[in-house]
Amino acid sequence: MWHFFPGKYMPSYQVNRALTQAHYGGGEFAEILEAAGNIDPDNRETFNIAWLNKGNEVYGWAEDYENKNAFVSARRTYLRAFNYLRTAEFFMNLQDDRKIPTYLKAREAFIKATKYFEEKPIQVEVPFEGSFLPGYLFKPKGVKNPPVMVMFGGLDSLAEELYFGIGDHLMERGVALLAMDGPGQGAALRLNHIHSRHDYNVAGTAVLDWVLENLKDEVDTTSVGIAGVSMGGYMAARCAAFEPRFKVCMIFGAVWSYYSVWAGRSGKHPLAEIVQHIMGVDSYEDVLKKLEGYTLENGVAEKISIPTFIMHGGGDKQNFVEHAITLEKHLTCEHKMKIVPEGESGSQHCQVDNFMPALDMFDWIAEKIHA
């Protein structure tokens, strides 16, 4: 992976993340590099300010386009503003008064952009344990009742973010995307205060039941798949194991045991406060205790009966490749695995350094869900 900040993995990873999403409308290379150039990788506040300033600037441009009825330009500019503001919010600590307002402005930018989509997404609210899980249904243009992939993001993902790249590649293949904020994610966490849970299949089943009941006129309810990216690789596998009504499973970054991921870290890790937030606990020790249930061990993986694709990077520094190798050994269902060899472009976490090796995954998923 290219390091904008030599020797500094995490801030460099975030720059690569934004650059990858820029291919799909989530940024502009020059703007991203300009923001990155204002960051001191050893000073987290400079990260927050650089992305916040750029996001606010671009948001203002989007408003100007909208006021001039230049709606195509407004759409493109709001999408960029969303991603810069999302990046700004990422490392703001929970006590930062800017965190929730920045998240709300990012979400607003995305929703404003969708007003000017040619195929307008449908905002959904899936009832869940006295509250709801929010999401968006993105449909491919000109396809009547397409199959649909229900998808959860990762530890730090927002449902809106799944549109960039993942949504494009599915829709190009005639597959709709139902991007969801599950427990511990996006608005479900920040606004509805729904924390993460090891039995993510409860959320997966709730979403599937809602799709079957409410989206019969929008998608092919006989062809509903499940997907997850990063930590979502655990979520998708867990849902597939306990909900065989899904037709296919897409694991975009495998997680065999999320406890083992964090047991090898410490409370000083850059993402430690984020994982405490999603779990709803106050200490790193409590995080580790909760994470003991986040595993595909003890026969969980063997329960997966639907066709499953595992995509992983051989150089993944966040969820090591051994997670994918172990999971694949335990699968008894029809499955395929692609590992990008370490050192090659696309070998980092969830192919943030090159999305193109994931094309094989999208082709395979499309073939199985259309079958």
Residues 5 and 11: their CA atoms lie apart, in Å, by 7
Q: Are strands 176-180 and 224-229 parallel, antiparallel or unpaired?
A: unpaired
Q: Which two tokens stand for residue 132?
A: 């709801």
Return the SS3 of 311.
strand
203 Cβ neighbours under 8 A, 6+ residues apart: 128, 133, 152, 180, 182, 183, 197, 235, 239
Q: What is the mean pLDDT of residues 281-298?
A: 96
- pLDDT band of 83, cuts 50, 70, 90: very high
Whether residue 335 contacts residue 328, with contact meaning beta carbons closer than 8 Å, is answered with yes
pLDDT of residue 156: 78
Quickly tell me which residue has 């650059």 as its tokens: 19
Average pLDDT, the chain: 97
Q: Which two tokens stand for residue 83?
A: 């991603």
φ, ψ of residue 258 in degrees (nearest 5)? -75, -20
Q: Which two tokens stand for residue 338?
A: 């692609």
363 Cβ neighbours under 8 A, 6+ residues apart: 173
Quickly tell me which residue has 């063997």 as its tokens: 302
pLDDT of residue 334: 98
pLDDT 10s digits, 164-182:
999 999 999 999 999 999 9
Per-residue DSSP letter, 194: P
Q: Which of 101, 83, 272, 218 is closest to 161 using CA atoms?
A: 83
Q: Which of 117, 133, 222 is closest to 171 using CA atoms?
A: 117
Return the SS3 of 124.
strand
Q: What is the mean pLDDT of residues 316-344?
A: 97
5 Cβ neighbours under 8 A, 6+ residues apart: 11, 12, 15, 36, 39, 41
Indicate the residue type of 136: Y
Share of the chain above pLDDT 70, in %: 100
pLDDT 10s digits, 115-131:
999 999 999 999 999 99
230 is catalytic: yes
Cβ-count burial 215-245 (b if 16+ within 10 Å, e if not): beebbbbebbbbbbbbbbbbbbbbbbbbbee
Residues 21 and 165: their CA atoms lie apart, in Å, by 7
Whether residue 250 contacts residue 236, with contact meaning beta carbons closer than 8 Å, is answered with yes
Indicate the residue type of 128: F
The pLDDT of residue 208 is above 90: yes
Residues 228 and 102: their CA atoms lie apart, in Å, by 25
Please identify which of the residues 157, 230, 260, 347 carries the catalytic annotation: 230
pLDDT 10s digits, 87-102:
999 989 999 999 999 9
Residues 190 and 183: their CA atoms lie apart, in Å, by 10
- pLDDT band of 62, cuts 50, 70, 90: very high
